[in-house]
Amino acid sequence: MSKKIDHAKIKSLVRELLIALGDDPDREGLKETPRRIANFWREFIEYEPGKLDTTFSAVKHNQMVCVTGMRIWSMCEHHMLPFWCDVSIAYIASDKVLGLSKFARIAHKHAHKLTLQEQLVSDISGEVRAILGTNDVAVYAKGEHLCMTMRGIQTPHRMISSALDGHFLETAPRLEFFRLIEG
């Protein structure tokens, strides 16, 4: 069940913001801006990822499954500015495997809200663990936050965060995971 935004209220607030910024919300270039921004927030917050829990019987047990390079966008909850991350997710298969598209659907589901990158990787990990019924899950995200790049210190950067659970807390599986994602 998705959250619902107040589209009319967002349009009104954006109009007020434009006035507070010293601009004219009725000028040609800004006439549709309140609606466009309200539409963006509706699309972002009310995102529906589709079915997340399609699993199949595992052909081989104790095999590491890893999906990398999933680019997602989210919004920093501190500044309401975008950040992107390239996300990698791995798990050690026991009795079932997750459908391939579900990795991206889960990552996007948790990115479509105001959040922090650290919370994002934790939420993704929790969902994969719940669906597969295993703690043997690793999530890694590497991204850039516009709240640091375009304001404040104004420095390009890459932030890396990970959530490692189960066997990924052990040295060998952890090293294998990081070797796979460095690819």
**Residue 76 within any structural domain of the chain:** yes
**Residue 167 within any structural domain of the chain:** yes
Q: Are residues 34 and 111 in the same domain?
A: no
Question: Is a pLDDT exceeding 90 seen at residue 104?
Answer: yes
pLDDT in tens, 12-44: 999 999 999 999 999 999 999 999 999 999 999
Taking the alpha carbons at both ends of the chain, their separation in whole angstroms is: 37
User: CA 132, 127, 130 angle in degrees (round to 5)?
Assistant: 40
Q: pLDDT band at 64, cuts 50/70/90? A: very high
Task: For residues 150 and 139, give the distance between their C-alpha atoms in angstroms, rounded to a whole number.
Answer: 27
**Residue 106 within any structural domain of the chain:** yes
* 80 backbone φψ class: left, alpha, beta (φ>0; ψ -120 to 50): left
Look at residue 178 and give its three-state secondary structure.
helix
Look at residue 117 and give its three-state secondary structure.
helix
Report DSSP state, residue 169. Answer: G
Q: Which domain holds residue 77?
A: 55-182
pTM: 0.94
Question: Is a pLDDT exceeding 80 seen at residue 2?
Answer: no
Question: Is a pLDDT exceeding 80 seen at residue 112?
Answer: yes
* Averaged pLDDT score across all residues of the chain: 96
Q: Are residues 149 and 59 in the same domain?
A: yes
Question: Is a pLDDT exceeding 80 seen at residue 183?
Answer: no
Percent of the chain topping pLDDT 90: 93
**Residue 50 within any structural domain of the chain:** no
pLDDT the model gives residue 61: 77
Q: Are residues 23 and 98 in the same domain?
A: no
- Domain count of the fold of the chain: 2
Q: Are residues 128 and 82 in the same domain?
A: yes
Q: Are residues 39 and 65 in the same domain?
A: no
Q: Are residues 39 and 60 in the same domain?
A: no
**Residue 2 within any structural domain of the chain:** no
The radius of gyration of the chain from alpha carbons, rounded to an integer in Å, stands at 20
User: What mean pLDDT comes out for the span 175-179?
Assistant: 97
**Residue 154 within any structural domain of the chain:** yes
Question: Is a pLDDT exceeding 90 seen at residue 121?
Answer: yes
